[in-house]
Structure 1
């Protein structure tokens, strides 16, 4: 199963940062649930990624207003944990005590437990994404919605009502949320007045 995030997928090979001591040994890729100090999740992720380890923690980004100012707030679903994909077997003594890492979920014998990628699917979907990217996506969706609004002098499509599926030309928008349109029926242009809610704007072809 692939995880698409920051250009990385399960199975990718990531080079260790130049000059940094490796924190994993040769072997197949492994996922671990690392325990970290409070409020150190972001710092641990950055520290690991500089050493060729992809890491994330599940959060929900929200906007909150405090003292009249809006700011982004990350609500952590599993505070104190960072899930990390090592390109090989993790080397605990090179990790514990570094950058806020305090340990990992372990097996009964005390060894670090290896997680199955399939078990992380939902958690990975909840990782923190770039706020700027989300804002750009919202702006694009808003632009698409504006493109579908009905304007006088522009073509439109009936999405409901008796003319559903027919195209028309919007002549005028009235104060009663109606639109005066011209619709071609049986080859003849026919004026009509319909609710704006029956219409959706269309892009005029070049």
Structure 2
């Protein structure tokens, strides 16, 4: 048995098929000369619904049409069989928050193979998101990035602290005491290093990090 594909059906298939094999992290090609998916009007934010695990593709599809979009995620690294892999955990899976520089045209937006709808008001119209709600969503991501930076800094300090031992001779390589020699007194659990040194004829004690010290050869060597 055979059947014919009309020119319209073939055009629709050709438009969607390049996206069917895409995975998270793939780049979406920009389609030239496509009709605008919004009309002149006031800029506003909308919450769009997308297919499972396709938030990034939806963002790229929107970006190719001059619409900024994001979905709040937190990045994590895990070690599997000796290999470090990075993965994302979505705060709100299935949502993409998009800013249109005008009034979105729903049927054009939903022509995307990745988007399925939008959060609507009681009258069925797409709902505009308020600035406070968006600020809280952005803050979720910013807060996570700050926490991730703090974890990395703590790990860096702990790694540096492991390179010295109590009793080692060292020298400050940075900070207000740069160039002064000191002695390592104690390695703190949080990665800090307590040292003592002489300044203006008096013994002083401070807690620093391994990144500000360089160890010196022992006197015996």
> Could you tell me the TM-score, scaled by structure 1's length?
0.63
Give the number of the structure with larger relative contact order, counting CA–CA contacts within 8 Å between residues 6 or more apart.
1
Secondary structure (helix, strand or coil) at the match of 2:170 reads: coil
Task: Work out the number of aligned pairs and report it.
Answer: 164
Structure 1 residue 48 corresponds to structure 2 residue 62:
yes
Report the CA distance shift for 1:68/1:82 in structure 2 as closer, same or farther (over 3 A): same
Report the CA distance shift for 1:79/1:179 in structure 2 as closer, same or farther (over 3 A): closer
Partner deviation per Cα, 1:93-146 (whole Å, 9 max, x = no partner): 101141311010011111111111221112123449xx9xx88xx58x959x97
Structure 1 residue 152 corresponds to structure 2 residue 166:
no
Report the CA distance shift for 1:39/1:178 in structure 2 as closer, same or farther (over 3 A): closer
Secondary structure (helix, strand or coil) at the match of 1:108 reads: coil
1:153/1:170 contact within 8 Å kept: yes
2:194/2:208 contact within 8 Å kept: no
1:156 CA displacement? 8.5
Q: How far, CA to CA, are the matches of 1:50 and 1:151 in structure 2?
A: 58
Q: How far, CA to CA, are the matches of 1:100 and 1:156 in structure 2?
A: 51
- The aligned runs of 1:72-87 (5 Å cut-off) are 72-87=86-101
> Could you tell me the TM-score, scaled by structure 2's length?
0.59
1:80 CA displacement? 0.8
Structure 1 residue 181 corresponds to structure 2 residue 197:
yes
Instruction: Decide which of 76, 91, 99 is 1:62's aligned counterpart.
Output: 76
Q: How far, CA to CA, are the matches of 2:73 and 2:194 in structure 1?
A: 45
Secondary structure (helix, strand or coil) at the match of 1:22 reads: coil
1:193 CA displacement? 7.2
Q: Which runs of 4+ in 1 moved over 6 A?
A: 155-158, 174-178
Report the CA distance shift for 1:172/1:76 in structure 2 as closer, same or farther (over 3 A): closer
Instruction: Decide which structure has greater helix share.
Output: 2
Report the CA distance shift for 1:72/1:111 in structure 2 as closer, same or farther (over 3 A): same
1:156/1:169 contact within 8 Å kept: no
Q: List runs of 5+ in structure 2 lacking aligned partners.
A: 1-30, 188-192, 214-221
Cα root mean square deviation, aligned: 4.1
